[in-house]
């Protein structure tokens, strides 16, 4: 608990994983909904494109936090980056 309250570790990367699964669920529901609404091709494109887009967006956010971790390791004396 101390890590969370004193900002010793980042909470957001853990939340991004949950957000990814919520986005993926929303993409699947909307894609299948479009398929059953008579727009099969549009639903298929939305399903594939939305899943890839959500993955890329979440990965970019994670990359920012990994950059932060690596810079923090470089700033600490006596530690080398992994």
pLDDT tens for 38-58 read 989 999 999 999 999 999 999
Q: 10 Å Cβ neighbour count for 16? A: 18
pTM of the predicted model as reported, rounded to 2 decimal places: 0.74
The runs of H, that is alpha helices, within the chain are 2-5, 12-36, 40-75
**Could you give the CA distance from residue 56 to residue 51 in angstroms, rounded to a whole number?**
9
Q: Is the pLDDT of residue 36 over 70?
A: yes
What is the pLDDT, as a whole number, of residue 24?
A: 96
State how far the Cα of 68 lies from the Cα of 82, in Å rounded to an integer. Answer: 13
């Amino acid at each position: 608990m101390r890590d969370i309250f004193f900002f010793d570790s980042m909470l957001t990367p853990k939340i991004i994983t949950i957000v990814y699964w919520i986005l993926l669920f929303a993409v699947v529901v909307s894609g299948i909904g479009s398929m059953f609404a008579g727009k099969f091709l549009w639903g298929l494109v939305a399903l594939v494109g939305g899943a890839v887009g959500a993955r890329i967006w979440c990965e970019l956010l994670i990359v920012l936090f990994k950059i932060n971790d690596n810079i923090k390791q470089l700033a600490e004396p006596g530690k080398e980056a992994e």
